[in-house]
Structure formats: C-alpha cells, structure tokens
Amino acid sequence: MTWNENGGRLGEEFFTPGSSSFTEFLAAHRPELLSTRRVLPDGVRAAPDQVPHGTTVLALSYRDGVLIAGDRRATMGNLIAQRDLEKVHPADDHTAVAFAGTVGLALDMVKLYQVELTHFEKIEGVPMTLDGKARRLAGMIRQNLGQAMQGLAVVPLLTGYDFSAPEGERGRIFSYDIAGGLYEKTGFHAEGSGSPYARGALKKLFRKGLDRREAALAALQALYDAADDDSATGGPDLNRRIFPIVSVITEEGFERLSEPETEDLSREMVEQRRNRPDGPNATA
C-alpha cells in the first residue's frame, strides 16, 4: 500500500467495500501497475531473439499428491539467455505454478497471483477453493491476451492439493492456453517447447500409485527426453551442478526437493542413460 500524497493518509479506495480480487483493485485504481495490461503499439511484435523465454515444465499426480517440475534454461532465439532460471513457484501452501513463455511477464504474473490468493484469504477469511484458484489464474492470463498476440505469451501450469476431492485424486493439474482457456488434465501434463517429448516420456512412465521417488525420477526422465530433442530445453548440467527444479504438494503442503536430493536423482538417471540412451521402457 502507498501513502496518499495529501497529508500522508490512505486514499478512500482503501476503505471502500469492493471485490476480494487484488488484481481488480489495481485495475480500478492503479492500472499502470499491471504489467499484463500493457500492450505494444499497433503493428509492433516482439522479436523472439530479443526476449528471454522459458521452456519446458511438467506435472504428474502420484500416491501422496502432485509433483511439478521444470528445466532451468531460458532462451532468446538460438541463444541461451539463462541456465538457472526458476520456473516452479509456490502460489500458496497447497498450490504451485510453473510457467513457459515470456520470462519477465511470467515472473510478474506469478508474483501478482501469489498476492491475489493471499489478498482473497485476508478479505474473505477463508482460502480460495482450488477450482477458484484455477479460474482466477485464467482471468489473469486473459488480461495478457493483447501482449500474447504480439509475441509475449505466458503459458502457466497450475497444480494443487484439493482436500475436497476423493482420496487418491487430490493432486490436480490445470493447463491453459494464451487466451485464458482452462483445462484440467488427468495424470500428467507438460507445457513449453519441449512438452511434446516430455509428454511422450510421461505417457510410457506414468502409472497410478507412484511413490515420491518414482514420480521424481519419471519427471527427470521426461525432462531429459525433452532436452534430448528440443534445443531450448536444458538437461541436468553435471559440471555446473544445475539441476531441474522438482517440487511436490501433499496434505502437508508445498515442498521443493532439496538440491542434494535432486542432484542424486539426476545423477542416477543420467547413469541409467549410459546403458539405455533412449530411456526406460513402459512398465506393464
């Protein structure tokens, strides 16, 4: 919040009843602070080699909840813009969001979404439902449609633990298109330039009832396959010790796997690839 320039008091807008949406509050009173509403001049389109883009993220449900992971590479055209980008973020205690697309806008959208969920809970006194969180993120993506049509798209992947869902189905996955279309996915999903290869890997590796270690290895195998066929996706960098981000959401909440755990699993997976370069076969 900011102080009113006249006398150091907060403006009337802070004391006027209204929506529980922080985004709608900004849109009404300080729209210039919403980066998703800024559109390039007519006829201008962002050049893909001038703006960093994040690539592959994925999610899969497992026995205790849902896992979400992403590689670390950002590209500008055929150049590597960043090797250690973090594409997976907690949205609240039981929800996480990962992104592919324009990095700057995506990071702003993630921060705004985190505030949006916190603001709702403070105003309403209860957390938003997972379905409500999914719809709220869809609305934020829709606000970015003008920039998406000019080459600055953001494509998030949302996961959450839903206490109201039946046992064994509480880890849920939602995907979006650039216009804010919302789609719930069953079992697994991936987004970004390497997503066709990651989904192909998950299609053969996913099964119901995976434990946490099995799910993490399946995610790492899928990201490895994506990096093997998509130059914009980065695989485990053993020399620099840069590894994918892997996080889980369970009844206990959001947890990012520690660096040592992710490194051990990544090295185990890379070693397996020495004998089987194309990865493991589907299990019966």
* Residues catalogued as catalytic: 55
The number of CA neighbours under 13 Å toward the Cβ of 150 is 17
Residues 70/244, Cβ–Cβ less than 8 Å: yes
Angle (deg, nearest 10), helices 103-124 and 130-143:
140
53 Cβ contact list (under 8 Å, min separation 6): 74, 75, 76, 81, 100, 101, 102, 103, 193, 232
In b/e form, how buried is each residue of 25-48, taking b as 16+ CB within 10 angstroms?
Answer: bbbeeeeeebbbeeeeeeeeeeee
State whether residue 109 is helix, strand or coil: helix
Q: Tell me 242's DSSP state.
A: B
Helical residues (DSSP H) of the chain, grouped into ranges = 22-29, 103-124, 130-143, 145-148, 195-205, 212-229, 259-275
What long-range pairs does 133-137 form, CB within 8 A, spacing at least 24? 133/91, 133/92, 133/95, 133/158, 133/160, 134/158, 134/160, 134/174, 134/182, 134/184, 135/182, 136/21, 137/97, 137/113, 137/174, 137/176
Question: Which amino acid would we find at residue 242?
Answer: I
CA 103/CA 99 separation, integer angstroms: 8
